[in-house]
Amino acid sequence: MSERSLAWELHVELASRISAVRLGPDEGLLSEALDSLYRVFTEARRALAQHPPEQLLTSDSLHQVVFGLLNDGLRPFLARWHPRLEAHLERRPPEVSQFDHEQAWDQAGVFRAELADLQVLLRDATERLAELAGAGSLLVAVR
């Protein structure tokens, strides 16, 4: 697979997930957003491992852009919020829906605000991947 193909594969992965699509204050489950981001992390890491660079890495090379996104963006967010949300979900009473339980979480607003900040970084990376693929961005359709 060429680096252009790899860039496009990763662009599609990011553009089609919560990483690029805004989550309104009363929309979706936080746990599903976190799971989607975790899958982005897993898929990007897999793709990089299966497709070594074709040339010497530079700071703006495809592999470095994606690696930076993983380590500077996704990893800190996931490490911070996964255990906190998991602990909250373990306290959900059986008669309360998961959505209502997540909405009532005292950290839900902070989670959503930090997710929105992360999405800016992820959308920028998604656009950069489209450029590296030599293609137009799919994000035009999701804004």
Q: Which residue has the tokens 């009473």?
A: 93
Mean pLDDT (the chain) is: 89
Give per-residue pLDDT as tens, 49-98: 888 877 776 667 888 889 889 999 999 999 999 999 999 999 999 999 99
Q: Could you tell me if 104 and 64 are in contact, meaning their C-beta atoms sit under 8 angstroms apart? A: no
Mean pLDDT for the stretch of residues 17-40: 87
Q: How far apart are CA 75 and CA 95, in angstroms?
A: 33
Residue 120 above 70 pLDDT?
A: yes
Stronger pLDDT, 55 or 37, i.e. the higher one: 37
pTM above 0.85, yes or no: yes
pLDDT > 70? residue 2: yes
For residue 110, is pLDDT > 80? yes
Query: Which residue, chain included where needed, has tokens 């929309």?
Result: 27
In this prediction, residue 143 carries a pLDDT of 47
3-state DSSP call for residue 132?
A: helix
The mean pLDDT of 95-116, rounded to a whole number, is 95
CA distance 28 to 23: 7
Token representation of residue 7: 């860039």
For the segment 42-48, the average pLDDT, to the nearest whole number, is 92
Distances (CA, A) of 65 to 48, 52, 68, 92: 11, 14, 5, 39
Burial (CB count <10 Å: 0-12, 13-18, 19+), residue 23: middle
- Looking up tokens 């890491």, which residue turns up? 45
Closest CA to 10 of 117, 141, 135, 143: 135
Residue 30's nearest CA partner among 120, 142, 139, 116 is: 116
